Structure 1
Amino acid sequence: MYKISGNKSESIDPVSFAELGYQESDIEELLRRNIEMISEDEKSMLIVGQQVRNVHYGRSDLTAIDNNGDIVLIEIKRDRRDIEGRKESFEFQAIRYAASYATIVTPDELVTKIYAPYIEKYREEFENAALTSFELGRRKLNEFLEDSGAGKRFNNKQRIILVASDFDEQTLSAVAWLNSNNVDMSCYKLIPYKINEDVYLTIEKVLPLDNYDDYYVTFLEKASTKTASSKSVSRRLLPKIDTMLKWGVVNEGDIIKAKDYQDEGSLLGNGNVLVKGQEISLQKWLKELYGWSSVQTYVFAIHKESGKALSEIRQEYMEKLEQENNI
């Protein structure tokens, strides 16, 4: 990170969560309230559990359900030192917890074992006080699955997300190998910076990538500290609303509706929307409307004039570009 002052730039180095006095529980609470930081605009997630104890007395940090109906396990460590100091590897700990979630067969079982206790713990964050925690959990979970198109799919597989400010090479090597063998595991860096008294975070998705070769640690070579090229990363990233505005497939002033809602906002030139006189990001607006932890922004944001989701408009334009490039 650089601070720009006139024609001069000053490098700002990251700090560790330990130096800031942050505990793992602090990062856990930050993500519980702002899971969109690691869920991307292309995924919806509903947080359903925190510090869930399994039969072997392990505790998983955060538990969610995603728009595919799969249970997502989110495991957090502060810094690289915390990862390297563990007797049990970070990724294997997460795999053990994920294996216990594979035994959950029905949405009602998820509500009974995990979601209802979570709602009970944070009851003040939920409406419908007349409902029991189980009734409310069942309603919210079923609505989420149905609206996400996952009503007939539930927990066919489990996903794992590992979060830390930095990862050691052994963990990255193991996660890269697991991904290449169809285990859905992601690594996100939350990198803290301190500027005066304020703390800033940059978020970097490290894995999965298209090509894992840079992360494999061999027996004969020193551990690789290379990062994947920006080209490799960019192929995985779908264009955002700012790019769609540059393309001209949507325009400033267009009306954006929330899917299945009457609520709407006016698209601004910076990609945010103006709703009831307030400027707000698409993700935050939709998140508040649906009451989910994160929302598939481009699926649930509907371009009023065309009646198409932003994801449809984006896909059609990308296919058009591909056809033109192949001519």
Structure 2
Amino acid sequence: MAIYELASDTLIRIESTSFEAERLRERQDIQRLLRTNIGAILEDSLVIAEEYGHFVDSNRRVDLLAVDKNANLVVVELKRDDDGGHMELQAIRYAAMVANLTWEQAVSAYADFLTQTEQDIDAQSSLLDFLDWDAPQEDDFGKETRIVLAARNFSKEITTSVLWLNDMGLDVTCVRLNPHRLGERLLLNVEQIIPLPEALDYQIEVRHKKREERAARSGSKDRSVLSLFVNGELFEKDFKKSDIGLHTVLALAKNNLIDEEAFQYLRYNKTCSFQLLKKFDEIKKTEDKYKKYRTHLEPEFIYEGQSYYVARNWGLPNTTRFIDEIQTHFPELSFEWNG
């Protein structure tokens, strides 16, 4: 679609141009600008490395390596041409290479990046502050790897591949970067084309549902259903892992087991990487976007007149850890796997 300037009595078309015509280079110009303005293509993220290439037996380099607010790694691949080449294949290789990046390696890469960009900042403190962590949580870092492809345009082969990859459970975003010229001014139109922003929540739900369906068809044992007991009496039966925090809090409240010390323990528990209890105004945009808290519903827990939402970011490892911690802290509660 064309872009127009609104004049008093007419529309003035802003002419599209190209990076090549404007003599903008891929690495020295586009990558450099996005490195310090990554929010233009990837919200709520922090670049921790540029031209990252600490791979064994490989001379490949990731254009930009970032971390998002959920502590996921993000591989950013840039191209200035009109079809993107084979950038989706390159990005998949890079994502596989960084998938096992540890916290220590990420901090080291970030420290190198800060030195290269002449920023006098402590890498670990900066990364902890960005993630809103009090201390490193190695088990929760880099559990998933996302991919962001940014180019002036994308061929049909790339968009078809990306749609299929997302359907299979990967997280790949395509962002179109289209330069325009308005007199002496050079403008950049940034447009996310996959997934469409207005359909993002729906597509995430469809992706999760397809994952569950594939898991069910695989014949593997489903361990995602639990029951909760209070003093040996059944409180809630056959609920999903995503609801373990909610039913734990409700069971404790119903049985008058929450005093101020217990509330503070629950409030700031981060076993699932997110604060277990948050008020609406404490929930960040990315947390809301990816349904880490169900803010589209009424608050789920009230304590001393304050309303709270309960974190929903539960995988098997942190669910198991949470159960162990809760049963130690509240011996009245016990859990049982059903499946």
Instruction: Provide TM-score, normalisation by structure 2.
Output: 0.56
**For residues 206 and 307 of structure 1, do their structure 2 counterparts lie closer, same or farther at Cα, with a shift above 3 Å needed?**
closer
* Alpha carbons 1:67, 1:150 under 8 Å: kept: no
Equivalent position amino acid for 1:169 in 2: K
Aligned to 2:198: 234
* Alpha carbons 1:69, 1:150 under 8 Å: kept: no
Aligned to 1:46: 46
Deviation at 1:67, TM superposition (A): 1.1
**For residues 158 and 149 of structure 1, do their structure 2 counterparts lie closer, same or farther at Cα, with a shift above 3 Å needed?**
farther
| Distance (whole Å) between structure 2 residues aligned to residue 59 and residue 313 of structure 1 | 33
**For residues 110 and 307 of structure 1, do their structure 2 counterparts lie closer, same or farther at Cα, with a shift above 3 Å needed?**
closer
Instruction: Give runs of aligned pairs for residues 21-100 of structure 1, distance below 5 A.
Output: 21-25=23-27, 26-40=29-43, 44-53=44-53, 54-55=55-56, 56-81=58-83, 83-84=84-85, 89-100=86-97
Identity %: 29
Aligned to 1:122: 117
3-state SS, counterpart of residue 163 of structure 1: strand
**For residues 316 and 72 of structure 1, do their structure 2 counterparts lie closer, same or farther at Cα, with a shift above 3 Å needed?**
closer
Larger displacement relative to structure 2 (114-123 or 170-179):
114-123
3-state SS, counterpart of residue 170 of structure 1: helix
Greater Rg by CA: 2
Note the residue ranges of structure 2 that are not aligned, 5 or more in a row.
203-274, 299-339
- Residues 108-165 of structure 1 show CA distances to partners (whole Å, capped at 9, x for unaligned) of 12223x2222122123x224xxxxxxxx222222333344999451111111100011
Equivalent position amino acid for 2:98 in 1: Y
**For residues 307 and 52 of structure 1, do their structure 2 counterparts lie closer, same or farther at Cα, with a shift above 3 Å needed?**
closer
Higher relative contact order (CA 8 A, sep 6+): 1
* Alpha carbons 2:5, 2:13 under 8 Å: kept: yes
| Distance (whole Å) between structure 2 residues aligned to residue 208 and residue 33 of structure 1 | 24
| Distance (whole Å) between structure 2 residues aligned to residue 70 and residue 310 of structure 1 | 16
Match status 1:183 vs 2:180 = no
Note the residue ranges of structure 1 that are not aligned, 5 or more in a row.
128-135, 210-232, 239-298, 321-327
Aligned to 2:127: 141
Deviation at 1:319, TM superposition (A): 4.5
Instruction: Provide TM-score, normalisation by structure 1.
Output: 0.58
* Alpha carbons 1:62, 1:73 under 8 Å: kept: yes
3-state SS, counterpart of residue 21 of structure 2: helix
| Distance (whole Å) between structure 1 residues aligned to residue 199 and residue 88 of structure 2 | 26
Instruction: Give runs of aligned pairs for residues 235-254 of structure 1, distance below 5 A.
Output: 235-236=199-200
User: What is the root-mean-square deviation in Å for CA atoms of aligned residues?
Assistant: 3.1
